[in-house]
Amino acid sequence: MNWNLEGLTVTGMYMGQFPVTGRVETSRVKYGGGISHHIVLESPITVYGAVRDRVILEHGYVSSVRG
């Protein structure tokens, strides 16, 4: 799998706990070599009482990618 997923739709687990699906706005290499993706969610989620319409998803928590 390519690390740059910009413009693709991904499914994964935000923080390893919350299922999310959305379009990747930005993929980036973090300091130290890890990869994160800034996701615009298809539908908002509530995380510990806060409603989120965007999240930063760690590459290891991406479970599927669609073009």
Residue 2 in domain: no
Indicate whether 1 pLDDT > 70.
Answer: no
Cα–Cα distance measured from residue 40 to residue 32, given in angstroms and rounded to the nearest whole number:
25
Could you give the number of structural domains in the chain? 1
Indicate whether 67 pLDDT > 90.
Answer: no
Q: What is the pLDDT of residues 12-66, one digit of tens each?
A: 999 999 999 999 999 999 999 999 999 999 999 999 999 999 999 999 999 999 9
Reported as type and span, the H/E element at residue 11 is strand 9-14
Indicate whether 2 pLDDT > 90.
Answer: no
Domain around 54 = 9-66
Residue 3 in domain: no
Residue 20: how many CB atoms within 10 A of its CB? 24
Residue 48 in domain: yes
Residue 19: how many CB atoms within 10 A of its CB? 10
Residue 61 in domain: yes
